[in-house]
Amino acid sequence: MSKIVKLKKGFDINLAGKAKQELADFASAQTFAIKPTDFIGLQRPKVLVKEGDTVKAGTPILIDKAMDQVIYVAPVSGEIVEVKRGDRRKLLEIRILADSTITHEQSEKLDLASLDREALVAKLAASGVWPNIIQRPYGIVANPEDTPKSIFVSAFDTHPLAPDYAFTLKGQEQYLQAGFDVLAKLTSGKVHLNVDGAKAVPSIFSAIKGVQLNKFEGPHPAGNVGVQIHHLDPINKGEIAWTVNPQGVAQIGKFALEGVYDAAKVIAVTGSELTKPAYVKTYLGACVSSFVKGNLNSGHVRVISGNVLTGEKIALEGFLGYYHNQITVIPEGDYYEFMGWAKPSTRLSFHRALGLLSFLSPKKEHVLDSNARGEERAFVQTGVFESVTPMDILPVYLLKAIMANDFDEMEELGIYEIIEEDLALCEFVDVSKHPVQELVRKGIELIQYS
C-alpha cells in the first residue's frame, strides 16, 4: 500500500539563483574526472589505466581491491591525461580528455526474464552502473553479495536550488521503467518510489509500474531518502536497504535496454553569482569551468559541486562529483564584519534571536555566502536540531555519543538510520557551529570498521 507521510519539521533554505527550466547551450566540457574520494568507503582503490591510454565510455578504470566485483568505469571516451595523487599517494582524480564524439563500450542487452538474480548482479557490477546503488546503513557503494530488504528511490530533491528530476529525466521514461524493473529483481522486498506529495505527481513517475509509490510532504529534508526510509521501513542493526538516485535508475535502465554505459546527465547550474542559472546536458564528472566561467556576476566566488548543504567546494576548474546533479556558485565569505554578531540582519536564519529578521519575509530569495558566522563552541542551545530533523532521533545525544566514541549509545540512538545529508540542516542551524556532518561520518566509520 502506498503511503502519504506529512512532515512538519525541517526548514527550506530559499536561495537566489534557481535554474530556469531550459537547457542552456554552454560550451561542452572538455575534461572529465572520476574522483575516487566521491565513493565513501572505497578502501583500496586500484587504477586500471595509465596516463596516455585511450578509453571508451564504459571502459573499466578503477576497482576497489576490497570489493573487486564492482567496476568503476570511464564516463566518456578519450585519453587519460592525468592520474592525480595527493599526500601519501592518495588517489584524487583520474582525468580524461574527451573525444569530440563519445563512443561507448557495447555489451549485451539484459534479458530480465531469463537472467537469475546472481547473473544480473554480476552483469550490473561489471558494467559501471553499480556504484549508483548505495547501501544503508553507512551510505557506501552497495556490496553485490548482499540482498537488501528493500530499495528506496527518492524522486524529488528538497535541497536548496536542487534540480527538478521531472525535467532532467524528460525523455528517459522507458529507461526509468527498465531501471525499476532491474531494481525489483535485486530485492526480496519492495521498491519504494517516493514523490513530492505537495505537488501533482509528474507523469514520468506516476507511470512507473512495479513499485510502491509513496508521497512525502513537508520542508527539507522531506526529499532525503534517509528520512523517507525512517518513515516507511526503518533500518535496524543488521538490516540492509539500498537507495538509488533517479538519474542512476535511468542509467541502469539504459544499460539494461541497450547494453551501453551512458553517463550523460542533465545537471542544474545554480547560484546567486551566476548571470544565467540553467540546466545543462553533460556527462558525469564534467569539468565545471565551461558552465561557470563567463557566467559569473562577480569574481570572488565559491564553486560547489552539489548543493550548499551537503556539497563540496571545488576549484573553478574543478569536476562535478559522481553523485552530484547540480553545481552551486555562491559568494566567498572571507571578510570581517564590524559588530556582525549584534547588527540587525535580514540574512537567512532559522532562529529569531536579536536582530535576525529573515522570518519577516519568508518568500524572499536569499544570497548566502560561505562565511561561517561565528566560532565553534560547546553545545548550548537545545531543541533546535530536533526541530529540523523529522525523525524520531535525538541528534544532540547521538552526536555526543560519537564524540565520546560510545558504540552502544550510537547504535541505540540510531546511527544506522542516518548519513551526513540527514543531519546537514543541523549543521546549518547550529548556534555552536559544530562540524555535524563530519561527526556523523566519524560515527559511521567507527561502527562500520569495528
Partner 1 sequence: MKFLRDLMDKQKPLFEKGGKLEKLYYAFEAGETFLFSPNHTTGIKGAQVKDAIDLKRMMITVVIAMIPCLLFGIYNTGHQHLLATGGTAGLWEDFGDKTLVGLKLVLPLVIVAYAAGGLVEAVFAVIRKHPINEGFLVTGMLIPLVVPATTPLWQVALATVFAVVIAKEVFGGTGMNILNVAMTARAFLYFAYPAQISGDQVWTYLGDKMPVDGFSGATALSVVYNAGVDGTQSAVEALAQHNTALGADLFSFTNLFMGWIPGSVGETSTLMALIGALILIGTGVASWKIIVSGFAGAYVMGFVMNLFAVNEYMALPPEYHWVMGGLAFGVVFMATDPVSASQTETGKWIYGLLIGMLTVIIRVTNPAYPEGIMLAVLFMNVFAPLIDYYVVKANKTRRLQRATV
Q: Which is nearer to partner 1, 112 or 354 (CB)?
A: 354
> Rounded to the nearest whole angstrom, what is the least distance from the CB of residue 6 to partner 1 in the complex?
19
Q: Compare residues 244 and 424 and give the one whose CB is closer to partner 1.
A: 424
- To partner 1, the closest distance from the beta carbon of 362 in angstroms equals 15
What is the CB neighbour count within 10 angstroms for residue 232?
19
Report the nearest approach of partner 1 to the CB of residue 74 (Å).
Answer: 25
- The residue behind cell 592518495 is 90
User: Least distance to partner 1 from the beta carbon of 353, Å?
Assistant: 4
Q: Based on CB atoms, which residue is closest to partner 1, 169 or 424?
A: 424
Residue listed under C-alpha cell 566509520 = 445
Specify the residue, 51 or 438, whose C-beta has the smaller distance to partner 1: 438
Q: Which is nearer to partner 1, 185 or 373 (CB)?
A: 373
Q: Is 202 helix (H, G, I), strand (E, B) or coil?
A: coil
User: Of 259 and 333, which CB lies nearer to partner 1 in the complex structure?
Assistant: 333
Closest CB 151 distance from partner 1, rounded Å: 18
Report, in Å, the least distance between residue 15 CB and partner 1: 8
Phi and psi (nearest 5°) for 20? -70, 145
Contact 240, 144 (CB under 8 A): no
63 versus 388: smaller Cβ distance to partner 1: 388
- Give the strands of the sheet with 151-154, arranged side by side: 4-6, 212-217, 191-196, 151-154, 241-244, 133-136, 140-141
* Nearest CB to partner 1, comparing residues 104 and 400: 400
Give the shortest CB-383-to-partner 1 separation in angstroms. 6
**Best CA proximity match to 90, nearest among 50, 45, 131, 49:** 45
User: Maximum CA pair distance of the chain?
Assistant: 70
CA distance 179 to 391: 29
Q: Are 2 and 212 in contact (CB under 8 A)?
A: yes
Which segments of 197-274 does DSSP mark as H helices, in order? 203-206, 225-232, 246-258
Phi–psi pair at 58, nearest 5 degrees: 105, -5
Between CA 190 and CA 228 the distance in angstroms is 14
Residue with smaller CB distance to partner 1, 336 or 449: 336
Contact 43, 17 (CB under 8 A): no
Cβ-contact 3, 214 below 8 angstroms: yes
What is the phi/psi pair of residue 6, to 5°? -105, 125
Question: In whole angstroms, how close is the CB of 16 to partner 1 at the nearest point?
Answer: 12
Residue 376 CB, nearest approach to partner 1 (Å): 9
Nearer to partner 1, 91 or 410 (CB): 410
**Least CB distance to partner 1 at residue 260 (A):** 32
* Strand bridging mode 67-73 / 78-85: unpaired
In the numeric block, which cell numbers belong to residue 360? 519577516
Q: Any idea how long the chain is?
A: 450
If the CB atoms of residues 173 and 445 are measured against partner 1, the closer one turns out to be 445
E strands in 18-150: 20-23, 31-34, 45-47, 54-55, 60-64, 67-73, 78-85, 91-98, 133-136, 140-141
Shortest distance, position 378 Cβ to partner 1, whole Å? 3
Cα separation of 413 and 399, whole Å? 9
CB atoms within 10 A of CB 205: 23
Minimum Å gap between C-beta 148 and partner 1 is: 15
Q: Are the beta carbons of 197 and 6 closer than 8 angstroms?
A: yes
DSSP at 76: S
Lookup: cell for 141: 557503494
The nearer residue to partner 1, 397 or 407, going by C-beta atoms, is 397
